């Protein structure tokens, strides 16, 4: 019986990994530098690009309502399947904008389809995190997600490299048309594979009313303090990090190949980070390791100042290496935090509250950042190229060593088991 249970776990973990392959290609070709490049092709300004980037997190505020409604469902799998289909179709449909509408309203229609797609993605976020938290045994989460993320980010790196080469070889609308053909192919495969997900038993919350259910995460002191701190961190981080591609393409005037190469480098170092942080997660708590990732992100912002002394490509390489290690650990450990350090029967609402708080902050950040880059256009070149990024990096370091140390860092970085016993 135990052997059969292990075989079942392996099968489910294999499905979750395989499903990530077409999903990674799909999202890579529609995000990052390709999203920025496509918006520039449509005629978007830096403010509009910041707004579009920010939209993906703003809609996460709706996850609080989604988490409440999820408690009334008998199945999570088919909700996941339905909204995955809707999300893939709507996001993929952004590629039809130049064919269906007048040039003057291209950006407007892109934003409408994008909002609809990521409203569906808000549902997927709660359901998938809740489901995968039950599929992956707790003792394997750190290692499994480290391996899964490493595999998928290796694929993402290859996709970025090939996509960048394709856009340089076939510039303009024709190049983006070829990317969207690949996108639609991967969307169909992704929908097919996700049908094989297991419908794991769902342990519902003991609360049945919305306000008491919402009160659980809001009254959990360590959880809400960590969430509020991470929201402030993300607000400051997203002033500049999501706009790295904009700075490279529009301010520094580097090519698509170089821009995507930098994203490939970042992804490769994210892969190293996944392995590194995943192994450490077996010894130290999620919150302690989250604290250790913060300096990497802050120094990655400060490293833009290197552009004043070294060749642009060398400086960008160093920036993206540091960012990859930091962001890889931050994303993995914040996910492990919300599915591993929260009660199982109330997990959807904890996920939703965390996503709502951090999502609102991550919406404001790129929006304000995009506006600031517009204000800086009449200023000296160095202010846009690296001055603003350096300032944000310094502020992040100060935030990490003050509030971050108090909220996230466990005393003396004690081993995870001892730390959890202390918290209990």
| pLDDT single digits (tens) 284-304 | 777 788 888 899 999 999 999
Unique residue bearing structure tokens 């160095």: 382
- Confidence (pLDDT) at 208: 64
Residue partners of 62: CB distance under 8 A and separation at least 6: 119, 122, 356
pLDDT tier at 340 (50, 70, 90 boundaries)? low
Query: What is the structure's pLDDT at 139?
Result: 67
What span, in angstroms and rounded, lies between the C-alpha atoms of 162 and 168?
Answer: 10
The pLDDT, as a whole number, for residue 5 is 53
Distances in Å between the Cα of 78 and the Cα atoms of 49, 195, 325 are 33, 8, 35
User: What's the pLDDT at 409?
Assistant: 62
Question: What is d(CA 408, CA 401) in angstroms, rounded to the nearest whole number?
Answer: 11
Q: How far is CA 112 from CA 30, 115, 294, in A?
A: 15, 5, 34
- How many helices (H) does the chain have, and how many strands (E)? 20, 0
The pLDDT value recorded for residue 132 is: 80
The pLDDT-based confidence of 162 (bands split at 50, 70, 90) is confident
- Contacts with 241 (C-beta within 8 Å, 6 or more apart), sequence order: 297, 300, 301, 323, 327
Calculate mean pLDDT across residues 369-387: 84
Burial of 147 (0-12, 13-18, 19+ CB in 10 A): middle
Number of C-beta neighbours around residue 247 at 10 A: 23
* Residue 414: per-residue pLDDT: 40
Residue 203 has pLDDT above 60, yes or no: yes
Q: pLDDT value at position 341? A: 63
Alpha helical stretches, state H, 376-415: 381-382, 388-399, 405-407
Q: Which residues of 334-349 are buried (b: 16+ CB within 10 A; e: fewer)?
A: bbbbbbbbbeeebbbb
For 177, the token pair is 């048309």
Asked whether the predicted pLDDT for residue 185 surpasses 90, the reply is yes
User: How big, in percent rounded to 5, are the helix, strand and coil portions of the chain?
Assistant: 85, 0, 15
pLDDT of residue 46: 73
Mean pLDDT of 212-227: 80
> Is the predicted pLDDT of residue 423 greater than 60, yes or no?
no
* Alpha-carbon Rg for the chain in angstroms: 21
> Region 344-367: what's the mean pLDDT?
79
Longest dimension (CA), the chain: 70
pLDDT at 65: 77
Q: What is the pLDDT of residue 353?
A: 83
Sequence-ordered list of residues with C-beta below 8 angstroms from that of 269, at least 6 positions apart, any chain = 320, 321, 322, 323, 324, 325, 328
What pLDDT is recorded for position 344?
66
The total number of residues written for the chain in this structure: 424
Handedness of CA 31, 34, 38, 40 (dihedral sign): positive
The Cα–Cα gap between 240 and 347 comes to 31
The most confident of 6-10, 52-56, 328-332, by mean pLDDT: 328-332
Q: How far apart are CA 341 and CA 420, in angstroms?
A: 9
Looking at residue 80, what is its pLDDT? 87
- 396, pLDDT greater than 90: yes
How far lies 9's CA from each of 20, 138, 284, in Å? 17, 12, 25
Neighbouring residues of 144: CB distance < 8 A, sequence distance ≥ 6: 13, 136
Q: Above 70 in pLDDT, residue 413?
A: no
Split at pLDDT 50, 70, 90, the class of 416 is very low
pLDDT tens readout for residues 17-64? 888 899 999 988 888 778 888 888 888 887 788 778 777 777 777 777
pLDDT over 70 at 90, yes or no: yes
pLDDT in tens, 232-253: 999 999 888 877 878 887 888 8
In three-state secondary structure terms, 415 is: strand
Token duo for residue 201: 């038993």
**pLDDT surpasses 90 at 89:** yes
Share of the chain above pLDDT 70, in %: 88
Query: Confidence band (pLDDT; 50, 70, 90) for 319?
Result: very high
Looking at residue 418, its pLDDT comes to: 42
Tokens 């480098």 sit at which residue?
265
Quote the mean pLDDT of the chain.
80
What's the DSSP call for residue 284? B
């Amino acid at each position: 019986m135990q052997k059969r249970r292990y075989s079942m776990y392996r099968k489910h973990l294999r499905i979750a990994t395989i499903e990530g392959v077409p999903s990674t290609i799909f999202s890579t070709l529609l995000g990052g530098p390709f999203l920025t490049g496509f918006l520039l092709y449509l005629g978007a300004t830096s403010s509009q690009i910041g707004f579009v980037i920010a939209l993906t997190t703003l809609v996460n505020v709706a996850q609080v309502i989604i988490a409440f409604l999820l408690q009334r469902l008998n199945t999570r799998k088919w909700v996941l399947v339905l909204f995955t289909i809707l999300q893939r179709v709507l996001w993929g449909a952004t590629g039809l904008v130049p064919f269906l509408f007048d040039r003057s309203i291209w950006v407007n229609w892109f934003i409408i389809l994008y909002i609809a797609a990521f409203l569906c993605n808000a549902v997927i976020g709660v359901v998938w995190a809740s489901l995968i938290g039950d599929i992956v045994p707790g003792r394997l989460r750190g290692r499994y997600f480290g391996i899964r993320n490493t595999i998928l980010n290796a694929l993402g790196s290859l996709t970025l490299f090939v996509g960048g080469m394709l856009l340089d070889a076939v510039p303009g609308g024709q190049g983006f048309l070829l990317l969207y053909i690949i996108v639609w192919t991967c969307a169909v495969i992704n929908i097919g594979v996700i049908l094989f997900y297991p419908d794991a038993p769902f342990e519902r919350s003991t609360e049945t009313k919305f306000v008491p259910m919402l009160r659980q995460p809001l009254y959990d002191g360590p959880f809400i303090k960590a969430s509020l701190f991470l929201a402030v961190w993300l607000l400051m981080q997203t002033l500049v990090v999501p706009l790295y591609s904009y700075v490279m393409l529009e301010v520094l005037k580097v090519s698509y190949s170089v821009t995507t190469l930098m994203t490939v480098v970042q992804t490769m170092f994210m892969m190293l980070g996944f392995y590194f942080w995943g192994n450490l997660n077996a010894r130290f708590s999620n919150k302690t390791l989250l604290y250790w990732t913060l300096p990497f992100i802050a120094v990655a912002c400060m490293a833009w100042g290197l552009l004043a002394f070294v060749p642009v490509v060398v400086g960008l390489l160093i920036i993206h290496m540091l960012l990859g290690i930091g962001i890889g650990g931050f994303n993995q450990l914040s996910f492990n935090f919300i599915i591993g350090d929260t009660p199982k029967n109330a997990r959807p609402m904890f996920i939703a509250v965390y996503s709502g708080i951090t999502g609102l902050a991550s919406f404001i950040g790129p929006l304000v950042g995009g506006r600031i880059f517009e204000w800086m256009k009449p200023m000296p070149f160095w202010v846009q190229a690296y001055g603003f990024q350096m300032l944000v990096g310094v502020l992040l370091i100060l935030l990490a060593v003050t509030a971050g140390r108090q909220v996230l860092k466990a005393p003396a970085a004690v081993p995870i088991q001892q730390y959890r016993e202390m918290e209990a």
